[in-house]
């Protein structure tokens, strides 16, 4: 095979990597940036909210799986579709448990049905340096008798400097764990620690499914990636995707172009800098370099504001988002959409034409703790179709331990958190 000799040399190089003892330290504690601070465990349960005759809000039964499934299905049928409609049902289950180690790394994540039965469990195992050594992700289908368990298992190997050498993945059902789907990624580095090659295997560990070569300039900046993939039953890998990168005199990336085989340029991301901040313009192309759309993202340093405008192939503005993020982590986000009349052009495809109808689709406001306090959606005529608000109760560490959700000013859900903290916190 064309790449067998290359892979043999690369694999020998991998085996010769020096594992000399180093002075590498445990990765710094990430809990200070984690949403739950220096928490050892967080248990979250969501209930129905009941308002009595006196106006007091009381806790009802735990919200059932049926309620969550109905919510997800309703979101899919809404126009416009809410931003969180992509959430999987499993992530919406009413009982969730997170467990952390003293470094702030998540070591367990459990999701349960309303009756307490386990639906999903994810376990993380770390080495002495804080690198992920193994992940076991299990999904339990309790509708089957007996329940079926699907497992995705990942293992990682590193060199003495902490760079990933091997990533393995097994995907199997527990009842048939002797016949898993397997894939492997190998990573090879140059003398400076930059990734030079990434090799992926799916069918076996001899014939690669893909190889990505990376090239750097004299300053260590990535200037090119070249990916080859197996196409069908062909014996050799064929060109698939190529990326080129350009930098200014200050070493800042100002252009990235992506090319696909038999299609040419498919994306061109240009970055400009001035006294006000940074502008990122992304052009997307179809075959023949036909412009399909443009996204312009402007970041204004003075006001901590980001504006993102989306244009179609005709140059008409279709969506724009304005986000304000202050030093106190207060965020005010508005997402807008513009609709136009469509007319058939001489090229026998539809084009947008004036006039446009501008409507606000989504509006979000966060509090000082970066938690959502308002989340509203609007229809094409500007009439609110979904008005949500949230009230929080915080503990002394600044984490919320109770949240009440209101839909159209009516309390619908109460979520409670039980948080256990480490007594001896590493500073």
**What is the per-residue pLDDT across 293-340, written as a single tens digit (0 to 9) for each?**
999 999 999 889 999 999 999 999 999 999 998 765 667 899 999 989
CA distance 17 to 317: 53
Highest mean pLDDT: which of 9-13, 236-240, 354-358, 369-373?
Answer: 236-240
pLDDT for residue 229 = 95
Q: Between 92 and 246, where is the model more confident? A: 246
Domain-wise residue ranges, the chain: 39-126+394-427
**307 φ, ψ to 5°?**
-125, 130
Q: Between 19 and 423, where is the model more confident? A: 423
Closest alpha carbon to 415 in 376, 366, 381, 372: 372
Locus of tokens 């990624």: 185
Q: Residue 393 pLDDT > 50, yes or no?
A: yes
pLDDT for residue 103 = 85
Number of H helices, E strands in the chain: 2, 25
Report residue 35's pLDDT band, with 50, 70 and 90 as the boundaries.
low
Of 171-185, 346-360, 405-419, the least confident: 346-360
pLDDT for residue 72 = 45
Structure tokens at 416: 């409670």
**What is the per-residue pLDDT across 105-129, written as a single tens digit (0 to 9) for each?**
899 999 999 999 999 999 999 999 9
pLDDT for residue 64 = 84
Instruction: Give Cα separations from 129 to 19, 32, 104, 133, 366 (angstroms).
Output: 14, 18, 13, 10, 35
Of 47-51, 62-66, 86-90, the least confident: 86-90
Q: Residue 91 pLDDT > 80, yes or no?
A: no
**What is the per-residue pLDDT across 52-76, written as a single tens digit (0 to 9) for each?**
888 899 999 999 865 445 444 444 4
Q: Residue 240 pLDDT > 60, yes or no?
A: yes
pLDDT for residue 192 = 94
Report residue 13's pLDDT band, with 50, 70 and 90 as the boundaries.
very low
CA distance 391 to 373: 7
Percent of the chain with pLDDT over 70: 84
Of 39-48, 82-91, 242-251, the least confident: 82-91
CA distance 48 to 66: 13
Report residue 89's pLDDT band, with 50, 70 and 90 as the boundaries.
very low
């Amino acid at each position: 095979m064309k790449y067998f000799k290359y892979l043999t040399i690369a694999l020998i190089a991998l085996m010769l990597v020096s594992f000399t003892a180093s002075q590498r330290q445990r990765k710094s504690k990430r809990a200070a940036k984690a949403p739950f601070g220096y928490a050892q465990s967080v248990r979250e349960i969501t209930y129905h909210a009941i308002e009595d005759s006196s106006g007091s809000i009381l806790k009802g039964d735990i919200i059932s799986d049926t309620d969550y499934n109905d919510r997800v299905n309703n979101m899919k049928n809404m126009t416009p579709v809410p931003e969180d409609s992509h959430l999987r049902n499993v992530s919406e289950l009413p009982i969730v448990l997170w467990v952390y180690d003293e470094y702030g790394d998540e070591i367990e994540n459990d999701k349960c049905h309303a009756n307490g039965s386990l639906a999903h469990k994810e376990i993380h195992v770390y080495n002495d340096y804080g690198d992920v050594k193994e992940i076991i992700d299990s999904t339990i289908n309790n509708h089957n008798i007996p329940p079926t368990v699907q497992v995705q298992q990942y293992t990682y190997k590193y060199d003495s400097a902490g760079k990933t050498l091997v990533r393995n993945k097994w995907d199997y059902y527990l009842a048939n764990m002797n016949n898993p789907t397997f894939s492997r990624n190998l990573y090879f580095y140059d003398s400076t620690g930059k990734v030079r090659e990434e090799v992926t295997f799916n069918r076996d560990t001899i014939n690669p499914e893909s190889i990505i070569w990376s090239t750097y300039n004299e300053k260590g900046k990535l200037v090119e990636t070249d990916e080859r993939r197996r196409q069908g039953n062909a014996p050799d890998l064929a060109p698939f995707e190529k990326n080129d990168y350009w930098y200014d005199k200050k070493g800042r990336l100002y252009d990235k172009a992506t090319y696909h085989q038999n299609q040419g340029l498919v994306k061109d991301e240009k970055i400009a800098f001035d006294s006000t901040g940074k502008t990122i313009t992304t052009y997307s192309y179809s075959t023949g370099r036909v412009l399909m759309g443009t996204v312009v993202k402007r970041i204004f340093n003075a006001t901590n504001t980001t504006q993102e405008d989306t244009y179609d192939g005709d140059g008409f503005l279709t969506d724009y988002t304005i986000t304000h993020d202050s030093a106190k982590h207060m965020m005010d986000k508005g997402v807008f959409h513009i609709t136009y009349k469509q007319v058939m052009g001489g090229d026998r495809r539809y084009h947008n034409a004036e006039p446009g109808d501008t409507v606000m689709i989504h509006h979000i406001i966060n509090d000082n703790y970066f938690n959502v306090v308002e989340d509203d959606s609007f229809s094409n005529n500007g009439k609110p179709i979904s008005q949500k608000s949230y009230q929080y109760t915080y503990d002394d560490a600044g984490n919320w331990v109770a949240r009440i959700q209101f839909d159209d000013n009516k309390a619908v859900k109460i979520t409670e958190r039980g948080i256990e903290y480490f007594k001896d916190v590493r500073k």
